Amino acid sequence: MSDIEDTKKRIRELAEKYENYTARNLSEIVKIPSYSGEEEAVIKKLKELCLKAGCDEVRIDGLGNLIGRVGSGDKIIAFDAHIDVVGVGDRSQWESDPFSGLIRDGLVYGRGSADQKGGAASMITAARILKELSYGGNYSVYFTFTVMEEDCDGMCWKYLIEEEKFVPDYFVSTEPTRLRLYRGHRGRMEMNVTFTGVSCHASAPERGKNAAYRAARGALEIEKLNEVLKPDKDNFLGKGTVAVTRLNAGGPSQCAVPDTADFYLDRRLTWGETMESSVKEVESVVKDFVSVEVPYYDRISWKGTKYGQELYFPTWKIEEGHPLVQSGIKAYDMLYGEKPVVGRWTFSTNGVAVCGRHKVPSIGFGPGDESKAHAPNEITQISDLKVCSAFYAMLPYVLE
């Protein structure tokens, strides 16, 4: 048996052996609520798990991201999981406690189990497998557990690359793909469009200029704009979209014509669409606006660091023939005797910063289903965790 065949066999055996270990780790971190900016407790738990798995280095950066490493090769591959979660929403829609971490019938239940602590648990197992195999190849294999993604996707990696000067050669997002291999997704941005008017008593509205009507007419133009947006040329990412997600108006009183109004936009960006082009589109179809602005996000992390960026997240993709994509296909094929489905996400990931902003070749492969993200009764399949831990351990060997 060749070395690579023996390695493949050992990886599959170890992923199988540690299947329950992976599920238990996921359960433990699901039990710890970790909203954006409030991730300290789960980061400390993950640090403990990484150390027990045998990582060669474990550290927390200035923003609060956790970084583990196995191996000391000249090249860097980074496997990433954001470990913050969205809120619970209406608890009456949950059949069990959102933070129970319940393990039952081959599933792990709870907020974050799919989006995306399942990826984090599989990464820890992959680190343990690589250590047991005494991995000493060409790569330093990093496992990053990143913060504040749900609030501002990619900002954690903007910090890692621009402030920590940590630039990988390859990047793998472990966001949920249900064991498909993804090579891109649409970008996104947010815009706020403001309007002014002239207030007067509502008993004689003709004396004033109603800012709410101006905003409402503008919102209807946005609806029309959405209908004419085009897909990318190869129709891989699909069409861009734009939607009004909030509309406000106000004035001196409820008996007065409003003199201010604004609406908020969610804009999904296909290949070739940019922040600048999208702002110009809105300005061209909306009348009587005062400003179209891309808001700026800045918040203090759990570590006490204030960091921010504009709410623009660039589109990204790499070609199917890229060596990273082909290596991912080969790794899966070697392990399981068939090629994975290659596709793209509907939602957005940290890839917007790593590949979209900084052009680091990136792919995605993760446990769980994208449709479970942000939904009540969130679950992840334990069998997915096992496959992912094997895939993450196998990929560095195949890249060599």
Residue listed under structure tokens 């621009």: 162
Q: Which of 84, 150, 281, 369 is catalytic?
A: 84
**Is position 149 annotated as part of the catalytic site?**
yes
Q: Which residues belong to CATH 3.30.70.360 in the chain?
A: 188-300
The pLDDT tens digits for 38-81 are: 999 999 999 999 999 999 999 999 999 999 999 999 999 999 99
The pLDDT tens digits for 79-96 are: 999 999 999 999 999 999
The average pLDDT across 101-113 equals: 98
* pLDDT value at residue 162: 98
The average pLDDT across 95-108 equals: 97
The average pLDDT across 343-363 equals: 97
Looking at domain 3-185+315-399, its CATH superfamily turns out to be Zn peptidases (3.40.630.10)
Distance CA 269, CA 316 (A): 10
Q: Which residues belong to CATH 3.40.630.10 in the chain?
A: 3-185+315-399
The average pLDDT across 121-130 equals: 98
Reference 388, options 114, 156, 186; nearest CA is 114
Reference 292, options 189, 167, 200; nearest CA is 189
Alpha carbon of residue 183 to chain centroid: 14
The pLDDT tens digits for 151-199 are: 999 999 999 999 999 999 999 999 999 999 999 999 999 999 999 999 9
Distance CA 341, CA 372 (A): 19
State the pairing for strand pair 66-70/57-60.
Answer: antiparallel
**Is position 319 annotated as part of the catalytic site?**
no
Q: Quote the percentage of the chain above a pLDDT of 70.
A: 100
* pLDDT value at residue 1: 46
Q: Which of 149, 153, 232, 378 is catalytic?
A: 149
Domain 188-300: which CATH number of 3.30.70.360, 2.30.29.30, 3.20.20.70, 3.90.420.10:
3.30.70.360
Q: Quote the percentage of the chain above a pLDDT of 90.
A: 99
pLDDT above 80 for 225: yes
Q: Using CB atoms within 10 A of its CB, is residue 101 exposed (0-12), middle (13-18) or buried (19+)?
A: buried
The average pLDDT across 107-133 equals: 98
Phi, psi of 25, rounded to the nearest 5 degrees: -60, -40
Reference 64, options 79, 44, 85; nearest CA is 44
Q: Mean of the per-residue pLDDT values for the chain?
A: 97
